[in-house]
Amino acid sequence: MPRFDSPRLLADIGGTYARFTLEIGPGEFTQTASLRCADHADFQTAVQAYLSGLSWQDGGPQQIAHAAVAIANPVEGDRVRMTNYHWQFSIDDMRQRLGLDTLVVVNDFTALAMALPRLAEVDVRQVGGGQARRPSVIGLLGAGTGLGVSGLIPAGEGWIALGTEGGHVNFGPRDEREMDILKFAWKTLDHVSYERLISGPGLELIYRALADRHGRTVQPLTAPAITQQALDEQDALCLETLEVFCGLLGTAAANLAVTLGSLGGIYIGGGIVPRLGEYFDRSPFRERFEDKGRFRDYVAAIPTFVITAENATFKGASAILENQLRNLQASPGSAILGQIRRARSELSPAELRVADLVLAQPRSVLNDPIAEIARAAGVSQPTVIRFCRSLGCEGLSDFKLRLASGLTGTVPVTHTQVNTNDSMLELGAKVLGNTASAILQVRSHLNRDTIDRATDMLLAASRIEFFALGHYSVVAQDAQFKFLRFGMPCGAYTDPRLQLLAADVLREGDVAVVISSGGRLPELISVVEKAQERGAKVVAITASQSPLAKKADVTLIVDHIEDIATHLPMVSRILHLLVIDILAVGVAMRRSPDSIAALTGGPEDEDTKPARTAMAAPGVSTASPLARLTSHSR
């Protein structure tokens, strides 16, 4: 089995125990240990305690470069605060303290969900009937210190894990006994969620509530003691407590199944149920799972499984870490971070210090105020704003929104090389895949304010002139076709000599839309200078950090690297056409309804007539009039 260059640290942090392991190769775990959270002041000391107890076969300690932490609470932004324990930390600060290159922190049930496709038959045990449909949505829940809930959605050849806090939905009693439990819980709790009952503390609460219902005075018992006495059939009250617990879990699982449409099955994890063994199989769980009234047949067809694999969460955390490292290697950083890396040579020395700070500590920058960012970079606050605007952002807030989207995005942006050995099917798939990937990347660059400003300029323009050269001439011609259909005076100029003549007759109130992939062509730069000299406004559709982007009044960023020396700029041209579509739809939406009706009332050709006369199938909406705006002219 291949080995990693360095061991990877994996952690599963709950409210009671922190489990650690080293992954030395794919799926190969070693030196697994479980530490009590109460024995350590914070997360860092727990990690260091684990690392200090490791034994190394090859002499001294080995450098650990990458780590993944699955933790029992929501993970949003840089700051992690545990729900059921007092630990909290900054992800980026912890990465630096531990000397790591990469630290990935995810919700523990998100990690467990990502492990499900990797589990073998021996890693799970089916409870009840049902047959999983593949590929379909999979549901996951499990009880421990709290109640974790997640799910998996099939996406192409992979899966998307849902990060949810579904354990906190309101508890709904099914019978008089459960109503009495709810009333007992209300004595001390304002909000009774399923987690309050389906968890370790929940077992203890149910035990006390049942004792109160039966008029008994009992000594408080811990969840492990209640469970053990129930399994040993030593105490009737403990046995009833466990029975209620399993029944409530069945209802919660059924609710999750119908909410997600989990035809791929419901999986039960956590620290409690896997330890119940055969008792769980004969408990009220499955009966309550199928107790769904009119939807009994629906849920009865959905299988339920208990996860028995010890390292399931580690497997999921490992998969997430591996995917993160693969994405970083293929395309380092998020879209905005990649944009910063490409722009470094164009930045001033002061802006470069801000760029280096963002690249080194992106999550800290995401949460820090502008004064702290300026202090950390050793620059003034206006320099921070100039840096953000140089990337096509309106300011720091807009920059942070794009940065947050990049750091938390789940869709990797990739590019697949087309080669001469590809079959026609492979070639088609790669071309379509590359185009789709590029569109996703441009979507992450879209800026609402700049699109609004560009749309406002076009609406207020006395005349609009579109300028482009070479392969991008068709984009200008397509734009002219669309805006002429609005009845707006416009033209398209693709010859350098005519472009300068056209720019020289522009005047105040006119708008020049300049389209260029690289934004460096001197002919188009001259057009911009001439247009602005005449008092016209300039909208640029081009790459960030280009001379054209810096000169324009409004810039719509389209960053896509394409080797035009070896093939035509197919993908980037499509991206520019799509930006024109965005502007056209934006203008149409803001014009009067009469103008939109007039737009769609012209003569039809053979290509458009069937689409307009076809009746809609049930459940499928017909295309709106605006849909015709995105049909490119030929």
What are the phi and psi torsion angles at 565 (to 5°)? -75, -25
Return d(Cα 348, Cα 85) in angstroms, integer: 46
- Whole-angstrom CA distances from 47 to 35, 83, 177 are 9, 19, 44
Token pair 């129930």 is found at 230
Return d(Cα 73, Cα 68) in angstroms, integer: 15
Structure letter (DSSP) for residue 608: T
Structure letter (DSSP) for residue 344: G
- Whole-angstrom CA distances from 215 to 209, 561, 608 are 10, 74, 77
Greatest CA separation found in the chain? 97
In this structure, the strands spanning 490-493 and 511-515 are: unpaired
Structure letter (DSSP) for residue 155: E
Residues annotated as binding site? 11-16
- Whether omega before 593 lies within 30 degrees of 0, making that bond cis, reads no
Return d(Cα 561, Cα 443) in angstroms, integer: 15
- Whether omega before 7 lies within 30 degrees of 0, making that bond cis, reads no
Question: What is the distance, to the nearest Å, from the Cα of residue 590 to the centroid of all Cα atoms in its chain?
Answer: 31
Q: What are the tokens at 354?
A: 């801000």
- Whole-angstrom CA distances from 626 to 280, 367, 481, 486, 614 are 56, 40, 15, 12, 17
Beta bridge partners of 153: 160
Q: What are the tokens at 512?
A: 């020049």
Within 10 Å of residue 227's Cβ, how many Cβ atoms?
A: 21
Residues annotated as binding site for ATP? 11-16
Return d(Cα 166, Cα 149) in angstroms, integer: 5
Q: What are the tokens at 597?
A: 């009706």
